[in-house]
A and B are shown apart, each in its own frame.
Chain A
Amino acid sequence: MLRVQQLRKTFQHHEEAPAFSLTINELILERGQEMVIMGHSGAGKTTLFHLLAGIVAPDSGIITLNNTDIVALGEAQRDRFRAQHIGCIYQTFNLLAGFTALQNVLLAQHFAGRSDRNHRDRAHALLQRLGLQNKIHRYPHELSVGEQQRVAVARALANTPSLLLADEPTASVDANNAEQVINELRTLAQEHDTMLILITHDRYVAEMFPVITEFSSLTR
């Protein structure tokens, strides 16, 4: 279960920009649930993504995932916790250029301290499931955009996370691929009983979900 309460973070888009204050009163998500958060650009969606992922620490507030308060953890513990419990999918996929598709997935497992045979098998199975069985030894630049996206999905799910966070995951692909990606994400999340939070500014993407949460409603 994910519980966010009274979360506050002051941030700037760039050094000379005025400071924004992001406040989330409450956000609760049960095991296996999904949520699409829609908001306009510059509203603080990516900051919320970073806060939930434990990449940045809030000024105040609570974020508990599976009864662990992420905010209370030290930086190194937070890194390890993120690796083991949270899967992240970024708008630009953020694959490591020097590593093959398989290595990108294995790297996520390595940093989570899960380099055993079972996890290696899982990495292979995920890539196969996403139709990349013949391309696991290809480098990102040797893959199409859609294939890169699927590697990013496989990597996010490599450690069987409790929470899957996706920030504008369809921004780099066309409408057909976008739908396919969203469907795959939802299916995979449901199969593993994983909570899914998808952040987007795209109403077309948001409308693929039964319920849309407006970003402004969270910050009210």
Chain B
Amino acid sequence: MHISTIIFAFLRQRLFSSLLTALSVGAGVALASLLIILSIESEHTFSQKDTGYEIIIGAKGSPLQLILNTMYHIGTPTGNISLETWERVQKDRRVKSHLPMVFGDNVGGYKVIGTTPEFFTTFQYRKNRSVTVLAGRPFAGDHEAVLGAISAQNLKIKIGDSITLRHGLSAEEAGAHDHGKMIVVGILTPTNTALDRGVFMTMRTVWDIHYHEYQEQQEAAERALQAAEQDSSSAVAKAPKHLHSAAHTHHEENHNHHESHTIPKDFTTITSIAVKLASPVFFESFVRSINETTPAQAALPVLEMMGLFSIVGNINGALVAIAGLSIVIGAISIMTALYNSLNERKREIAIMRSLGARRATILLLILSEAGCIGILGSLSGVIIAHISAFLLRPILEQALGATLELQLWYLQPWLLAGATVILTLCIACVPAWKAYRTSVAENLLPR
């Protein structure tokens, strides 16, 4: 008979309580491991210093909000800036490249970004990495859309499909734009950035849609006013049917040719501009000139993200510490379970001792049992953490606005699991010692 058979028989005898104890350890390890994995990945994603966004110009407000919105599509924009600001950037000789962006609608929950054809040429989302089209072609004219890799995949859209913009920044917000229909002409190569979750088109397309929406709202308001006036002037008269149909006809006539009209200045605003300077020596002067002489602000992503991470890092540390505490609690639960079971097991131990088992053998058995529970709990915890990370990935990516490059396995959770088993064994020394000290003669008789 092998010692493992004896340990297995012990575990089997208390299968339910052993599993429950393992579960409590596993939950702690899973929580801590998941936090570690997410902490590694979020830091990896957000602290990329080779981002192509050197400076971001947007409306005054929180620079971090501006950066998170522009680079990661998180939160709402700080506001809009005028075309004059963009024109000024264009003329600035310190600027090497610039890319204006207009945010403010979505397609199936994926943000719409109006931009210029420079998106496909001079813009670099990372050092020396330009946006390329995997299938189809870049947008050439208005009312043509190019989808990010993930947007296209998740919305199950292919080239030639027609898409409709929905108003607002998220899918839950109010209805579709009547004029938001457009043709998909291209799908981008994956970039592992928030760009994968975007829907891109010309700025004019976005402006156009907003302007038409505005016009429609005005017409609807006018109709409602007229109807109210008629109702109050004649209680018998009903609202003429032709009014609606006339308005409808007018509406169709008016908007069939998207590019045939001019858009008022109020509707041609920009959310942000990604700027790359000709030389790092211009950083200070450029940022200063934007901040002090225009209504906009210039923010430095690297600086802001470092600031963010100094805060997030502390929170992460605190979370991992809490998770670590839950592991200690798990280990203590093993000790408690074993310690409590010792009272029931004193007779068992006494019988084994009477059969010739040495005290050291009893010590080894109790420690092995604790070790098995610890190993089972830790293993399941790490596996659960890895599976959870993959299951939570879509939600996290949506929330973080970035693609997490999850790996199949991480070293740190396994180290944590090893440390948990060692901790369990150390704590289990308490009940093991009690078992070691069990008196044979006193416990041989039934209680």
Contact = CB atoms under 8 A, between A and B. Distances in A.
B355 A75 contact: no
B444 interface: yes
A90 B444 contact: yes
B440 A96 contact: no
Interface residues of B, number: 27
B251 interface: no
B352 A107 contact: yes
Interface in A86-144: 88, 90, 92, 94-99, 103, 106-112, 115
B179 interface: no
A56 B444 CA distance: 12
Interface stretch (B5-13, B187-195, B235-243): B5-13
A92 B354 contact: no
B357 A79 contact: yes
B356 A115 contact: no
A115 B356 CA distance: 14
A76 interface: yes
A3 interface: no
Contact of B354 (A46, A55, A112): A55
Interface string B411-447: 0000000000000000000000000000011001110
A56 B6 contact: no
A80 B3 CA distance: 16
Contact of A111 (B347, B361, B441): B361
Interface string A57-76: 00000000000000000011
A108 B441 contact: no
Contacts of B10: 98
Contacts of A80: 356, 358
A55 B440 contact: yes
Contact of B1 (A46, A76, A109): A109
A50 B443 CA distance: 12
A interface: dominant SS: helix
A37 interface: no
A84 interface: yes
Interface string B338-353: 0000000001100111
Contacts of A53: 354
Given A75-B359, A79-B356, A90-B444, A98 B1 contact: no
B225 interface: no
Given A55-B354, A98-B9, A103-B9, 18 more contacts: A50-B441, A55-B444, A56-B440, A56-B441, A76-B359, A76-B360, A79-B358, A84-B356, A90-B444, A96-B9, A97-B348, A98-B12, A99-B9, A103-B1, A106-B1, A111-B355, A115-B1, A115-B2
Interface of B: 1-3, 5-6, 9-10, 12-13, 347-348, 351-361, 440-441, 444-446
23 contacts: A46-B445, A50-B441, A53-B354, A55-B353, A55-B354, A56-B440, A79-B356, A79-B357, A84-B356, A90-B444, A92-B445, A97-B13, A98-B10, A98-B348, A103-B1, A103-B9, A107-B1, A107-B355, A110-B6, A111-B352, A111-B357, A112-B356, A115-B1
